[in-house]
Amino acid sequence: MNRNTFLRTAAATLLLAAGTASAADWPTKPITLVVPFVAGGTTDIVARTVGQKLSESLKQPVIIDNRGGAGGTVGATIAAKAPADGYTLFLATIAHSIAPGLYKRLAYDFQRDFDPVALVASTPNVLIVNDKVPAKTVAELVAYIKANPGKVNFGSAGNGSTEHISGELFRSMTKTDIVHVPYKGGAPMMVDLMGGQIQMAIETSPSASPHIHAGKVHALAVTTKTRSPAYPGVPTLDEAGLKGYDMTTWFALMAPHGTPPEIVQRLNTELARAVQQSDVVKRFEEQGVTAGNMKPAELATFIGTETTKWVKVAKEAGATAE
């Protein structure tokens, strides 16, 4: 072995050893969890629930960094460019599997630039209307929209969000003329829905749940193939006549690509414990949320399947975002 080869080999060995030691010591400082929607919405609720538990088990603060905008793609861009050292994590949603079908260009590649860590949770979306809409069923809502073409607005957490594609799918399947109104998150959208500025939304369950139970909005259907235990008397959209309508919103913990596998596995293990704790289970059940349970490799396969599916749906529905 010549001197140059020896030096390169020695340097590589030292870097590998340093990386292993760093992963073994992790974490030694606060961790930032980038949440790609504003505070108060479902993604934020889920992030703060599990973030607190991770703070307790990892013995370091988990700081929630809300970076809303462009249907979650602003936050994704920020997280994708962060150092892959385990100190920046990202809470992705189904919106990030939808985005490639809506945007002509993205500043990141969801499957290439992130390493899957764990599926955190999943939840149905709920078709809701305010009390100014004279509809108690999906059929009555469709009839009302057809009688008022172009006058019914549906809100979303932003272009490319799960609420956006849920509404576009509803529009496509019912052949109705409804107008999309994007917001920077679910929380401000819900304020306008209750205030009458918009008439309907297909919102994620945790964000909609307290307002449904308080009687401030009315639930007409859920988007999943089976009914939600949180709303046992509410039919599915499939049951209500939109045969084949099936959407589940999910939330996944991701890390910038290249994060040490030891850190990814540690996070997967800690998160699995967190979502099984009784207070988390209780809170999730009240909001119609199901805890996730996937290993990183399983999550990678799941995300690939979801991306293929929703890119196709977005294109067939004619949905776009800029």
Tens of pLDDT, residue by residue over 235-271, are 999 999 999 999 999 999 999 999 999 999 999 999 9
pTM: 0.84
List, in sequence order, every residue forming a beta bridge with 122; answer none if it has no partner. 250, 290
Would you state the pLDDT for residue 26?
Answer: 98
Q: How far is 160 from 99, CA to CA, in rounded Å? A: 6
**pLDDT (tens digit, 9 = 90+) per residue, 117-133?**
999 999 999 999 999 99
Would you state the pLDDT for residue 262?
Answer: 98
Task: Evaluate the CA torsion angle 106, 112, 117, 123 in order and state its sign.
Answer: positive
Please report, rounded to a whole number, the percentage of residues in the chain having pLDDT higher than 90.
80
> Which residues, at least 6 apart from 279, have a Cβ–Cβ distance to it below 8 Å?
none
Would you state the pLDDT for residue 286?
Answer: 86
Q: How far is 187 from 149, CA to CA, in rounded Å? A: 27
Strands (DSSP E) along 48-113, which ranges?
A: 62-66, 88-93
Which whole number is the average pLDDT over 163-189?
A: 93
Most confident of 100-109, 143-152, 178-187, 305-314: 143-152
Q: How far is 269 from 117, CA to CA, in rounded Å? A: 9
Would you state the pLDDT for residue 134?
Answer: 97
- Higher model confidence: residue 22 or residue 228? 228
**pLDDT (tens digit, 9 = 90+) per residue, 96-154?**
999 999 998 999 999 999 999 999 999 999 999 999 999 999 999 999 999 999 999 99
List, in sequence order, every residue forming a beta bridge with 156; answer none if it has no partner. 182
Would you state the pLDDT for residue 21?
Answer: 47
Query: From the centroid of its chain, how far is CA 235?
Result: 23
